[in-house]
Amino acid sequence: MVLRYLFLHPFKTIRNKFYAELFRSNYYKKMVRDNPQKALSLQYKSAHHKNINWDNPQTLDEKIMWLEAMTDTSKWSQLTDKYEVRKFIEEKGHKEILVDCYGVWNSISEINFEALPNKFVLKCTHDSGSTHIIKDKSKADLVDICKDLQAKLHPIGYTTCEPHYLSIQPRIIAEELLEEKELKDLSTSMIDYKVWCFNGVPNVIFLCYNRHKDLNGHLTASYDMYDAKTWAKKREYLDVAYRPDDNTCFPAPDNLEKMLEYAANISKDFPIARVDFYNINGKIYFGEITFTSAGANCYYFSELGQRVMGDAIDLTHVKRIR
């Protein structure tokens, strides 16, 4: 099967290998630091097989990259940090939606596991995909977990050209383990309500559910899409490969209006922000803020979704620094 793929798609295979090696190179790292616009152009070309429209960005991915290259994103660094963002949420007056934090450390060696509760979540503050869910501390392979987290305590943002990640100090944070008791028939994991906000207005909600690691250890999930105000299905915004089956239907949270109020207030100073929440047994919890979802390569959205979401973003009054 692999040989057949290589035979039928030789150019695609060579192209993907070329970009993968380029994005890992020291040459590209220097480009990300010195000329992020050029580095982002290569990212866009790699993902979309065409040149980005810098003069008149139209799609969601184009506008995210335009903001990365042309504006001051220093605030993004603080708010992308999973620990530092807590101060911002408190300043917004929303301390009540923060998950309990048990501690933050610069190294695994600093953690006193005996002082932690039996159930908790352990993850890095600067990346995604490093989360470890400990449901029973006495049965968890803490040695293996510590090795994994310690190996990830390095700056990220080079291979995906997300410069605001470079200034985030890699640390480890322990938080309360949230456990969903409702909607278990619809998802094997907590449902992640990712509210896409444009110019401070919640537009659509991207649902992430059934999260798990595949046989190769890669994090995977299922997706759904709803209009933020009406809860009408917006599955046409999802690429065909990522749409749920027709029988899947999630009910709107009873506290949806409150969730949208939080999202609007948190995102109001940014042209684009994805604000994530959990709704655990009727209580809203803040997850994170993301400005460059999937490294501005939102492969799970269809061409229609990219275009319609891009149309909803107004960059007219955004201050350029380049």
295-317 pLDDT per residue, tens: 999 999 999 999 999 999 999 99
The CATH number that applies at residue 301 is 3.30.470
**Claim to verify: residue 187 and residue 306 sit in the same structural domain:** yes
Distance CA 9, CA 129 (A): 30
Report, as an integer, the average pLDDT of 194-198: 98
Query: Same structural domain for residues 150 and 194?
Result: no
| Residue in the structure block whose two tokens are 């229609």 | 304
Q: Examine residue 28 and state whether it is found in any structural domain, yes or no.
A: no
User: Does residue 174 share a domain with residue 131?
Assistant: yes
Same domain? 122 vs 193: no
Return the pLDDT at 214. Answer: 77
Q: Are 304 and 289 in contact (CB under 8 A)?
A: no
Residue 171 and residue 213 share a domain: no
Is the dihedral angle over the CA atoms 301, 58, 60, 313 positive or is it negative? negative
Choose the final residue of a domain: 116, 150, 179. 179
> 79 and 199 share a domain?
no
Instruction: Indicate whether 240 and 142 sit together in one domain.
Output: no
pTM higher than 0.85: yes
Whether residue 277 sits in one domain with residue 166: no
Using alpha carbons, select from 141, 237, 123, 121 the residue that is nearest to residue 189.
Answer: 121
- Domain containing residue 84: 75-179
Segment 200-227 mean pLDDT: 90
At residue 10 the predicted structure's pLDDT band, cuts being 50, 70 and 90, is low
pLDDT digits (tens, 9 = 90+) for 255-294: 999 999 999 999 999 999 999 999 998 999 999 999 999 9
Are residues 172 and 200 located together in one domain of the fold? no
Band (pLDDT 50/70/90 cuts) for residue 176 is: very high
**What per-residue confidence (pLDDT) applies to 73?**
95
204 and 155 part of one domain: no
Which residue spans within 55-118 are E strands per DSSP?
101-105
Asked if residue 252 belongs to a domain, the reply is: yes
Task: Supply the pLDDT for residue 120.
Answer: 98
pLDDT at 285: 98
223 and 151 assigned to the same domain = no
Is 10 part of any domain?
Answer: no
Q: How many domains does the chain fold into? A: 2
Range 184-206 average pLDDT: 94
In a domain, 4, yes or no: no
Are residue 116 and residue 161 in the same domain, yes or no? yes
Is residue 37 very low, low, confident or very high in pLDDT (cuts 50, 70, 90)? very high
Average pLDDT, the chain: 93
Q: What is the pLDDT of residues 67-112, one digit of tens each?
A: 999 999 999 999 999 999 999 999 999 999 999 999 999 999 999 9
What is the CB neighbour count within 10 angstroms for residue 96? 12
